[in-house]
Structure 1
């Protein structure tokens, strides 16, 4: 029942117990009638029928209660304990441990092992074993007709009790282990399905982004050519204000084209230039400097990298870093501190800001798309993309609110993911 919500599973388990109890009532009734009237064995009919009546009443009560509220482990345990008590009464009235139906206690043990938590499963074992032991000493003997009676020695009854207890212990021991293994397997499968769904989402966004990049490339090139013509026009060239505006527009167009080239490179498409071979310090310092140029006075970069390392510039990682910096500004940060260091064989980027922090709803669903405090469709993709970029590179992203205000994001990824020998 791994695919059910806990409350639905509890209700179904309770219904299962109710169905089994109807079968038990029918079986006990048929056995009592057959033994008393078919075999001529005198039985205390009235108290035995009264016990059956209590089981029927319990079933009706549970059917009504099941419709009102969720069924808990304690309720299932109580229901099984009532079944054990009813069976103990019936056995006490009909020969105790000498009754061949004493083995039915194992049914309660099996049900407990399957339906209950481990602690209460073991409690069922203790109670049924105790009931079995008590029934070897205290019970109402049956006055069997001549030829039906047999004498069971005390050592035989003790051995029978030991056999029952051993079987009950082994059943619960292995059933609980199997249930735990199945639960862990289901959790792993659920995590794999979630990761596959997220990966498929990333692929769809990548296809959309690369398609949009191709489509936007042509009009941007056209605008760039037009701006170049304008810049050479004598009227505009002779007007410093207009010439500056044209230069600014040309710079923004160039920036847009660089962003589109980065999208295509990150999606694995050839853009006419080979991947950039650089060093770790130059790569990180250059990306932060470019971002700082459009957000002056926001970011302070601390270089704790030690010796420099040759790498291949990963545009997806650069975009993930830019996304996190943009998010910090949008969260009201006025200062952002970025510290780059190497711990063992891992690059660690620690990004701390003094903004409003991150809502708990986003922290609880880190890495899920469209989780954002911004009221617009498509918001929240920055963190989603950053988390999954780090995951693809074999690293991790952690996000937490700081006690003094603001947020802290930590990138951690193996240096081998950027190394020349692995990527060149």
Structure 2
């Protein structure tokens, strides 16, 4: 399986892909995941703001002798706390956070900051520069129209605070004038602004990059699936076209077996029998291609058990490769009823064929149950994977066979397993040879799951 194995870079977990597909199918854009994270960041920032406001009120009242309207200011802080609790309840809903919701959340924050500034000196309060934090977050989080609207709102609020505010009652202390306190406040506000911007803008940027990475993954898998659909159509068409000549050959060979001039020669009779066996094998391959493409499945699919499915799979493959030294081990702990999955059968055949090409004298096929998953392991004693092949495992046309159009084996294996919610792992063994391990959830095969 080494060189011939031809696929696959590790794919994202099946649950993650399923979630992304479900989001798209239900009209929920992937940006919603970043929106929920960004709303959570605003909630965290609001907790910091509430704690900072409480600390500021206590500090200026107890140590600087500044009289502030404590009750109204604590009322604003209580409003921020209630807004945060409501936002946390909103996040429990299984739907994305829209741009309008983020815009409204930032407007509430601006309103809270404006009210606190109105109660504590208006535009002369050094903490007015915290408006820049809201504007910066809006520019990063919001769509252009809403970020522009947020800028206009903050400008209007700042302008209003120049004429409408409640003056501070300040008791001057020795060594500390009003201007000195203002400068100290500006320094504290600048440091706070800088620290919060670095922390939160960095985290928001990470959220955006994660969203872009998910979108890139989804586009990549969509392109791969489109590639598979086109190959499936081609294979299905070829299978249909091959059906007629194979049937004709079967009829001709049947006629030859009844001709006295041919049956009288034992060597010719044996060769005719061998040709008929090969034609039957070709017809079986064509049938499995059509089944894997979704055609004839209604006639061929049926209920079986795990042991019958695995034992029959190993026996059928061994029958088509009489020269192969296949050691089959089945340690699946119970003989559960399943639906016979032809695509999984073709996947295992593909992996076994790759192993046969490099190690016909020794192939190990082992089936076992690990938790709620079926694990199938195929080992060979060939030369192992080329490092370049391992690095691009799962990509099409990655092969060392040197054939035009080769390298589709494990590419199809990875994509079929991903469709079934499973995964593929491949590696070189320490004592030589290669290992390919297929895992998929039992729910993908169980009768109960497929019947729902």
Q: TM > 0.5 between the two?
A: yes
**Comparing 403-412 and 273-282, the one that deviates more:** 273-282
Q: Report the equivalent of 2:443.
A: 416
Task: Please identify runs of 4+ aligned residues in structure 1 that moved more than 4 A.
Answer: none
Secondary structure of residue in 1 paired with 2:384: coil
Q: Could you tell me which residue of structure 2 aligns to residue 15 of structure 1?
A: none
Does the 8 Å CA contact 2:324/2:356 hold for their aligned counterparts? no
Gaps of 5+ in 1: 1-102, 115-150
Aligned partner of 1:155 in structure 2 is 181
Higher relative contact order (CA closer than 8 Å, sequence separation 6+): 2
Match of 2:271 among 240, 245, 251: 245
- Confirm whether residue 228 of structure 1 aligns to residue 254 of structure 2: yes
Partner of 1:257: 283
Residue 217 (structure 1) shift = 0.3
| Residues 271 and 154 of structure 1, relative CA distance in 2, 3 Å threshold | closer
Alpha-carbon separation, structure 2, partners of 1:408 and 1:271: 31
Q: Distance in 2 between matches of 1:262 and 1:371?
A: 24
Q: What is the CA distance between 1:272 and its match in structure 2?
A: 7.8
Given the alignment, which residue of 393, 399, 419 partners 1:372? 399
Deviations 1:272-326 (A, max 9, x none): 8331332221221222222223143421011101221222221211111111111
Residue in 2 aligned with 1:342? 369
Q: Which residue of 1 aligns with 2:408?
A: 381
Instruction: Please show how residues 145-294 of structure 1 align to structure 2 within 5 Å.
Output: 153-270=179-296, 273-293=299-319, 294=321
| Alpha-carbon separation, structure 1, partners of 2:342 and 2:387 | 30
SS of residue in 1 equivalent to 2:192: helix
Q: Is the 8 A contact 1:261 1:271 kept in 2?
A: no
Q: CA RMSD in A?
A: 2.2
Q: 1:327 matched to which residue of 2? A: 354
User: 1:72-151, aligned counterparts within 5 Å?
Assistant: none
Task: Give SS of 1:399's match.
Answer: strand
Cα distance between partner residues in 1 of 2:229 and 2:389: 22
Distance 2:204 2:266 in 1: 80
- Encode CA deviations 1:136-169: one digit per residue, 9 max, x unaligned: xxxxxxxxxxxxxxx9843332221111111111
Report the CA distance shift for 1:383/1:190 in structure 2 as closer, same or farther (over 3 A).
same
CA deviations on 1:46-66 (whole Å, 9 max, x unpaired) are xxxxxxxxxxxxxxxxxxxxx
Count of residues in Structure 1 that have an aligned counterpart in Structure 2: 280
- Mind listing any 5+ residue stretches in structure 2 that lack a counterpart? 1-128, 141-176
1:333 Cα offset (Å): 5.5
Q: CA deviation at 1:271?
A: 6.4
Shift of 1:270: 2.2
Q: How does the TM-score come out when normalised to structure 2?
A: 0.59
- Aligned counterpart, 1:90: none
Query: How far apart, CA to CA, are the structure 1 residues paired with 2:271 and 2:345?
Result: 29
Kindly tell me: are residues 297 and 270 of structure 1, through their superposed partners in 2, closer, same or farther at Cα, counting changes over 3 Å? closer
SS in 2 for 1:218: helix
